[in-house]
Amino acid sequence: MIPLLSLSDVAKTFASGTHALGPVSFDVAEGEFLSLVGPSGCGKSTALRVIAGLLSPDSGEVNWPGGKPEIGFVFQEPTLMPWLSALENAHLPLDLEGMPRAEANKRAKDELGRVGLIGFENAYPRELSGGMKMRVSIARALAAEPKLLLMDEPFAALDEMTRQELDDDLIRLWRNESGGAREKMTIVFVTHSVAEATYLSTRAIVMSPRPGRIVADIALSREPRSDIGYRFAPQFSADANKITQALWKAERDVP
């Protein structure tokens, strides 16, 4: 099958001399939920920014065999404008693109609904909890109808229960359970949480400490399953153990 995107021998050294990443090579298939797992500072954010085109690699390349699609980016911080309402924040990028106001409004409103924020359209960020702010940030990314969603530790600053709720909601969004005609999204999700990667993804790429290289590429058996029960399923532990073992092996193999 033709991949959605393909990284070949991508490496990045910053001007400071820090060799942050690679070389790494991997393909991402359409419709996948891929997690990049690795210790802090191993180049996960760098890899995501290279994929998004926000940063150019100093060797290797990113290829898009079917053409570069619309990309959404969700950062660890919700980065909302404090003086704009949830709705205004969610359609801001569409306004900047020059989309007619009525359409931008409608899209943003629909997405706030899909992320569970009906009734909060006019609330300001200071009136929202951390989890709700992150929901606005996700709605803002989805309003552009991305085919590829890149997420950089989006739930890392949230408390554990809120994080698990958002994990479940993200799976529903990825499965497109709210219906609609949109295409199925591909998600590349950065996390250093083994449990989160295991729970969310169809595949995990495990990275070594900096400069990040791929130490394992693990197909996960997350489907079919029920969301709540899966955290207690033997298969969940088995998959999590595979990721943990790969992380430990990479730590020990560092010279």
> Among 3, 6, 8, 18, which residue sits at the site for ligand ADP (rule: CB under 6 A)?
18
Residue from 156, 201, 198, 217 nearest 7 by CA: 217
The single residue among 35, 45, 105, 208 that binds Mg ion, judged by CB under 5 A, is 45
We find the least distance from the C-beta atom of residue 105 to ligand ADP, in angstroms, to be: 34
Report the residue number, 35 or 45, with the smaller CB distance to Mg ion: 45
Site for ligand ADP in 175-214 (CB under 6 A): 210
Choose the stretch contacting ligand ADP; rule: CB under 6 A; options: 1-9, 38-46, 221-229, 247-255.
38-46
Near ligand ADP by CB under 6 A, which window of 12-20, 79-87, 92-100, 223-231? Answer: 12-20
> Which listed range, 39-47, 173-181, 220-228, 236-244, lies at the site for Mg ion (CB under 5 A)?
39-47
Whether the CB-CB separation of 139 and 117 falls below 8 Å is answered with: yes
6 touches, from ligand ADP, Mg ion, none (C-beta below 5 to 8 Å by class): none
- As a three-state string, the secondary structure of 26-75 is EEECCCCEEEEECCCCCCHHHHHHHHHCCCCCCEEEEECCCCCCCEEEEC
Closest to 116 (Cα-Cα) out of 100, 129, 103: 129
Whole-angstrom distance, CA of residue 254 vs CA of residue 221: 29
Contact between 191 and Mg ion per CB under 5 A: no
Q: Name the segment binding ligand ADP (CB under 6 A); options: 15-23, 64-72, 96-104, 141-149.
A: 15-23
Position of tokens 């950062």? Answer: 75
How many chain residues bind ligand ADP (CB under 6 A)? Answer: 13
Residue 224 preceded by cis peptide, ω within 30: yes
- The residue among 203, 191, 195, 206 whose CA lies nearest residue 230 is 195
Number of other CB atoms surrounding residue 245 within 10 Å? 13
Which CB sits closer to Mg ion, 45 or 201? 45
Whole-number minimum distance, CB 220 to Mg ion, in Å? 22
Window 45 to 104, contacts with ligand ADP (CB under 6 A): 45-46
- How many whole angstroms separate alpha carbon 222 and alpha carbon 198? 8
Interacting residues toward ligand ADP by CB under 6 A: 14, 16, 18, 20, 38, 40-46, 210
